[in-house]
Amino acid sequence: MDDDLFIFVIDRDGAEHKLEAVAGWRVMEIIREHGLPIKAECGGACACATCHVYVEDEWLEKLPSQRNEEIDMLDEAIDPQDNSRLSCQLIMSEELNGLRVRLAPEG
Ligand code: FES
């Protein structure tokens, strides 16, 4: 178990949360497991865009590149930005220890 991995999540009120993370979990699952408000309606199937997050710039290039499905789905997200990602498409790993994301607005 990688019990020393963390991510930082800034909620929609601007509060930062340090969340314990597990390698192999989707970032969306980590956020949801800690009770932060993320709808993730499709359960991680890249089919809803309600797990939309903004990734802090320094982390962007460390993330796996987007698949076409994610790019298409982000087109339908609310207020997409250059640093938008779907958190269900980001798999936690040692390399992402300390990842910092901000929850995108909800519809
Ligand atoms: S949970 Fe639906 S696209 Fe990520």
Amino acid, res. 87: S
Tell whether ligand 1 has an atom less than 6 A from the beta carbon of residue 46: yes
Q: What does the pLDDT look like over 11-49, one tens digit per residue?
A: 999 999 999 999 999 999 999 999 999 999 999 999 999
* CATH code of 63's domain: 3.10.20.30
Tell whether ligand 1 has an atom less than 6 A from the beta carbon of residue 86: yes
- Please give the structure tokens belonging to residue 73: 């789905």
CA separation (Å) from 45 to 33, 87, 101? 17, 11, 20
With H, G, I as helix, E, B as strand and everything else as coil, classify residue 24.
coil
- Residue 19: which domain range? 5-103
Q: Is residue 47 within 8 Å of residue 99, measured between CB atoms?
A: no
Mutate to test the pocket of ligand 1, among 38, 88, 91, 106 (most ligand atoms within 8 A of CB): 88
Q: What does the pLDDT look like over 56-91, one tens digit per residue?
A: 999 999 999 999 999 999 999 999 999 999 999 999
Q: Is the pLDDT of residue 1 over 60?
A: no
Q: Give the number of domains in the chain.
A: 1
Q: What is the pTM of this model?
A: 0.94
Output the furthest CA–CA distance in the chain (Å, rounded). 36
